[in-house]
Amino acid sequence: SVLKQVETMLTVITVIIAFLTGIALIVSTLGIVNTMITSVLERTREIGIFKAVGATNSQVMAVFLTESAMIGLVGGLLGLAIALLAMIPGDAIGSSMIAERAAIPYRGNVFVLPLWLAFAGPALGAVTAVLAAIIPARRAAQIDPVKALRHD
């Protein structure tokens, strides 16, 4: 009975955390879209020069998609580093809380980062960033070089 209640609570907590993670992913995606649109607008002259010397639309897109992938990868790696740093005090606090309530010392780790998640987190950041940058990269590729060179 008690085990079933704990299992139900953990399921509810997991669903809530997944929901909050989804919201964070949407917000970060919008942030990346905004960053890339701003980057395209600020670099209009650079794009014009790039196209004037012979760059194709796909090469211009590749520049912005690569930049976005790097932003996503670095963001994912920073998030992973912050999570690892937060696990240290989190384990100590969690272990002491369990020991208080259970009246026995807890020897295991409360927070565990699976190896697959350590790789999937930064990869998901990079993929999400690339998907978010597709529209701004297309916009950059379609810029007319003559108009871009006249742009101030």
For residue 62, the model assigns a pLDDT of: 95
Q: What is the 3-state secondary structure (H, E, C) of the chain?
A: CHHHHHHHHHHHHHHHHHHHHHHHHHHHHHHHHHHHHHHHHHCHHHHHHHHHCCCCHHHHHHHHHHHHHHHHHHHHHHHHHHHHHHHHHHHHHHHHHHHHHHCCCCCCCCCCCCHHHHHHHHHHHHHHHHHHHHHHHHHHHCCCHHHHHHCC
For residue 111, the model assigns a pLDDT of: 85
For residue 76, the model assigns a pLDDT of: 92
The position carrying tokens 């384990």 is 91
38-97 pLDDT, tens digit per residue, is 999 899 999 999 999 999 999 999 999 999 999 999 999 999 999 999 998 988 888 888
Gap between the Cα atoms of 133 and 40, Å rounded: 10
Confidence of residue 152 (pLDDT cuts 50, 70, 90): low
For residue 12, the model assigns a pLDDT of: 92
